[in-house]
């Protein structure tokens, strides 16, 4: 089970084990003799503590033997329990004794005890971590320096900086609804990233902070999923202008539309490596209407040697798709610009009202059909 799956509200599913144990003596023996059944638990921890949930956690810790654990804690808002409490005083000692067994950990609204203890709680077995911090409890930072073997980190609404161990082994970073200054700091700590998912990134809390102008490289990154957000402003422009991805093979970009710097977008595509294989564009709403036609043919900024094999357009404006496809079909019967192109996927295309005045939707459909025929002929 991945850490994303642990974010769902499944806090009561494990009670079925207690019910099954009452079916018969045979069923109870199977449950008690199978430690694999007790390695995953989801707890919803109330405001004043979780005595009943703590009892259940203790039961799972006892019956899971020495196997790796997957733990998911959903802490409620405005908890009245002491800040030093992890779950409940009746089970915290037992939980501390089993910290090294935790392999996957999902925490929503974590109490300060997880990150501000002295000495820190070492989680050397932890490989996957999800942080959902809707209410950060006054934490100035999240310190994960006690997780030296962390490989996958997901974060949602985490506005405090995250400090990782050094050297950092994180290869997968999934960041949603986070300020871009924190993302910059994280990327500089993660030189071994292979997959980066960045969604709805926002400007720093302090808008007066200038974005960095220094170029940085993620030399091992192979997959980038980027969802633009209109709150990013100059920080998002700095992000796409300064990042270098020499090993990138897959790019998925959603909401490629204003407000962006034309120069930043051009630089980003011009700096993509020739080894790029897959380009997926989602929800592109006629950027030419705001920026002019010189912005539309983004593929013009790619290297001619780019080895694109798969192109996807989903929920994009028809005129935009048509203008992009024309780049692939040079005149005078020339070869396809990207000769390794093998698949073009079009789904849920639309025609914005701005461009319909100049070109009827039916005509755009016809033009795209002819362009696709030309592409297929050249392939």
- Residues 105-142 have pLDDT tens digits of 999 888 877 876 655 678 899 999 999 986 555 667 88
Query: Which percentage of the chain shows pLDDT scores above 70?
Result: 73
Q: Which of 273, 285, 212 is nearest to 248 (CA)?
A: 273
Quote the CA–CA distance of 48 and 161 in Å, as a whole number.
28
- Looking at residue 265, its pLDDT comes to 82
Quote the CA–CA distance of 256 and 295 in Å, as a whole number.
11
pLDDT at residue 366 above 70? no
270-316 pLDDT, tens digit each: 899 999 999 999 987 755 555 444 445 667 778 878 888 998 988 88
Name the residue with higher pLDDT: 2 or 204: 204
pLDDT at residue 33 above 80? yes
Quote the CA–CA distance of 93 and 87 in Å, as a whole number.
10
Section 33-54 average pLDDT: 79
Section 181-192 average pLDDT: 92
Name the residue with higher pLDDT: 81 or 11: 81
- Looking at residue 197, its pLDDT comes to 96
- Give the SS3 label for residue 189: helix
Section 258-266 average pLDDT: 74
pLDDT at residue 244 above 90? yes
Question: What confidence category does residue 238 fall into, taking pLDDT thresholds of 50, 70 and 90?
Answer: confident
Q: Where are the domains of the chain?
A: 5-283, 284-379
Question: What confidence category does residue 369 fall into, taking pLDDT thresholds of 50, 70 and 90?
Answer: low
The answer to whether the CB of 243 falls within 8 A of the CB of 226 is: no
């Amino acid at each position: 089970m991945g850490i994303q799956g642990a974010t769902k509200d499944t806090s009561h599913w494990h009670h079925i084990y207690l019910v099954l144990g009452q079916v018969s003596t045979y069923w109870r023996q199977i449950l008690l003799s199978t430690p694999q059944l007790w390695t995953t638990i989801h707890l919803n921890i109330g405001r004043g503590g979780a005595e009943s949930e703590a009892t259940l956690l203790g039961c799972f810790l006892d019956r899971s033997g020495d196997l790796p654990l997957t733990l998911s804690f959903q802490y409620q808002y405005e908890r009245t329990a002491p800040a030093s409490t992890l779950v409940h005083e009746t089970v915290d000692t037992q939980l501390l004794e089993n910290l090294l067994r935790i392999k996957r950990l999902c925490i929503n609204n974590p109490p300060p005890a997880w990150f501000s203890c002295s000495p820190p709680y070492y989680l050397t077995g932890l490989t996957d971590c999800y942080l959902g911090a809707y209410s950060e409890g006054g934490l100035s930072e999240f310190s994960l320096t006690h997780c030296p073997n962390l490989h996958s980190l997901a974060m949602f609404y985490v506005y405090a900086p995250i400090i990782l161990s050094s050297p950092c082994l994180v290869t997968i970073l999934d960041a949603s609804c986070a300020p871009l200054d924190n993302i910059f700091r994280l990327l500089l700590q993660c030189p071994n990233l292979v997959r980066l998912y960045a969604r709805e990134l926002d400007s720093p809390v302090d808008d007066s902070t200038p974005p960095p102008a220094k170029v940085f490289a993620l030399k091992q990154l192979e997959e980038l999923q980027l969802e633009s957000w209109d709150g990013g402003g100059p920080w998002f422009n700095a992000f796409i202008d300064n990042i270098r991805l020499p090993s990138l093979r897959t790019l998925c970009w959603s909401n490629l539309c204003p407000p962006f710097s034309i120069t930043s977008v051009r630089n980003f595509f011009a700096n993509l490596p020739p080894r790029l294989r897959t380009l997926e564009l989602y929800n592109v709403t006629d950027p030419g209407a705001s920026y002019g036609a010189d912005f539309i043919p983004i593929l013009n900024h790619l290297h001619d040697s780019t080895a694109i094999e798969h192109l996807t357009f989903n929920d994009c404006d028809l005129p935009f798709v048509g203008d992009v496809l024309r780049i692939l079909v040079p005149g005078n019967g020339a070869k396809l610009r990207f000769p390794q192109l093998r698949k073009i996927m079009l789904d849920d295309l639309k025609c914005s009202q701005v461009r319909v005045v100049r070109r009827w939707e039916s005509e755009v459909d016809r033009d795209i059909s002819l362009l696709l025929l030309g592409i297929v002929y050249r392939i």
